A and B are shown apart, each in its own frame.
Chain A
């Protein structure tokens, strides 16, 4: 896709005999049980989640008041570093505790296949950590890759897309609202019942989306409470004058590789349309309500009220983006064509027989699997037993998971091979700056003082250096990575960085690397 992309997933955690007031300490312990190589000391340089891309910084982010019931008054006060317990892994990923959830953030990827493989590798890394923790604790530990506890608490699966900062913020928001409000047609993970709604009209509904019940505003910097369809956090993790990182929080965690690839691929293409100057042709009167309507409509024909025109269906909204993307991008490369073909066939099949989609979309697979059981057992969609099966679909243990039961029975289409996922557990993508992060973890971990998305601070010959990676985001870095990997030791690595910087300053843009080379730590922070 030739865009830097990543996925962060907060997993649900359960430990036999324990409760939600234990999840912070248990998540920290689980992260520390990670069995592979890793380096601690996250580099928070340039991070401020309160900064809004609309040009202001909020005083505080909203938090969910319900969480106070889970706070132990006797809990030890921890520093941010202790609470997060970050580990940067050999594949360039980040593993840490986030608000009582073990979280895995993939390394930056340029291709969909790399990204899906890295997302699936995250499940294996989490599972191995959970098994090690279970062994140490003597208690069963399970992890769920979903977004709801069915008691009103939600946790996120966030997508990240590096994009040009030239797209005006208001245009970005207006163009994404109809797209995100309807994307659950193929990106939704499916959900039994309804939550977080006073006076539920029909709790016994099967929904396309896990997350729609938890979206309450159109655009906001908040993520923990009062969640928006379009998150406006302004943390580029790259040169801030040139790039924006679109942080998407309205999506679901996908078990299906195909659905995950389609979700990210379509969104990346929509961003390309905006970068090319496209003006959105549809505005919905109430995008947030529309997202809920779409999530609860298995006819796919519910009209969505539109500004300045007749009502439209979710399929029609999606087709406006698809048609433009086909017109502009078809034939560019194989992954783009895969996305366009998959997007087209999904919208076509939703209009005829959606049961054919159960081999590739999570919601359709879950619906098909659970509906027969529900009928045989005379259960309603909102029953606890159905929600228990829903949770089991998202269990990441292949011996227990209903999703993996389907996959092992050959009923789910694959997008990557097991071998590719296995390789991604310890290998970063070879063509992004994640490979440089992985290089430092694998070879020079003892020298690393701080490590993050956009920089690595390390000690070399008694001096503190910062390898600034803010500009290493645009080009395919395979050649540069090859040179760094070929360096025999840290001295040669530093020499490569210094030489590249000098070449860039002389006007030879070799890698897009040039604004900051290694320098005394502190000068650039």
Chain B
């Protein structure tokens, strides 16, 4: 059996943010989304892009 499992490559280490030994996006599953880093004016533009009527259409079923 040669298929790899990666659980042993990460260990809990308390303290500040920690870099695991794996690179993001290795192996199965989706990679980290790639996005540009906006400044705060980009944030305002992002807010202005929001459809002010979006909440009227947003209907959900009750969950738990």
Contact = CB atoms under 8 A, between A and B. Distances in A.
Interface of A: 10, 12-14, 19-20, 23-24, 35-37, 63-64, 66-67, 70, 89-91, 98-101, 110-111, 113-114, 124-125, 127-128, 144, 149-151, 153-156, 158, 223-225, 249, 333-335, 338, 369, 373, 384-385, 387-392, 397-400, 402, 404-406, 408-409, 411, 414-423, 425-431, 435, 438-439, 442-443, 478, 481-482, 485, 488-490
B29 A35 contact: yes
B29 A149 contact: no
B43 to A, nearest CB: 4
Interface string B27-43: 11111110111111011
Given A114-B12, A392-B50, 16 more contacts: A14-B57, A20-B61, A99-B64, A101-B63, A111-B12, A124-B30, A156-B63, A384-B55, A384-B56, A404-B35, A414-B17, A416-B18, A425-B30, A428-B7, A488-B1, A490-B1
18 contacts: A10-B63, A19-B59, A36-B29, A91-B29, A113-B13, A124-B32, A384-B52, A384-B55, A391-B54, A405-B46, A408-B38, A421-B24, A423-B10, A423-B24, A427-B10, A429-B7, A442-B5, A442-B6
A238 to B, nearest CB: 20
Contacts of A431: 11-12
Contact of A64 (B38, B40, B62): B62
A225 B60 CA distance: 14
Contact of A373 (B4, B12, B17, B47): B47
Contacts of B59: 19-20, 149, 151, 153
A36 B20 CA distance: 20
Contacts of B32: 124, 418, 421-422
A19 to B, nearest CB: 6
B22 A423 contact: yes
Interface of B is mostly: loop
Contact of A155 (B10, B15, B27, B63): B63
Contacts, number: 235
Contact of A128 (B29, B53, B60): B29
Contacts of A249: 64
A478 B10 CA distance: 10
Given A392-B50, A405-B42, A435-B7, A419 B23 contact: yes
Interface of B: 1, 3-15, 17-20, 22-33, 35-40, 42-44, 46-47, 50-64
Given A150-B55, A488-B1, A224 B35 contact: no
A166 to B, nearest CB: 26
Nearest to B50: A392
Interface pairs A-B: 9 shortest CB-CB: A422-B24, A155-B63, A128-B30, A36-B29, A334-B14, A385-B52, A387-B55, A64-B62, A100-B61
Contacts of A429: 7, 10, 12
A430 B10 contact: yes
Given A90-B28, A408-B35, A420-B17, A99 B63 contact: yes
B2 to A, nearest CB: 9
B47 A427 contact: no
Nearest to A13: B60
B59 to A, nearest CB: 4
Nearest to A128: B30
B22 A427 contact: yes
Nearest to A334: B14
Contacts of A408: 35-38
Contacts of B61: 20, 23-24, 67, 70, 99-101, 153, 155
Contacts of B52: 384-385, 388
Nearest to B41: A409
A313 to B, nearest CB: 31
B56 to A, nearest CB: 6
A285 to B, nearest CB: 28
Nearest to A225: B62
B25 A439 contact: no
A430 B8 contact: yes
Contacts of A24: 61
Nearest to A335: B14
A219 to B, nearest CB: 16
A409 B40 CA distance: 6
Contacts of B58: 12, 14, 144, 149-151, 388, 391
B12 A110 contact: yes
Contacts of B63: 10, 98-101, 153-156, 224
A79 B12 CA distance: 39
A427 B6 contact: yes
Nearest to A193: B55
A485 B8 CA distance: 8
Given A36-B30, A334-B15, A427-B6, A101 B60 contact: yes
Contacts of B44: 373
A214 B19 CA distance: 39
A154 B24 contact: no
Given A37-B29, A100-B63, A101-B60, A111 B3 contact: no
Contacts of B55: 150, 384-385, 387-388, 390-391
Residue in A225, A442, A443, A489 with the greatest tally of chain B CB atoms within 10 Å: A442
A208 B53 CA distance: 23
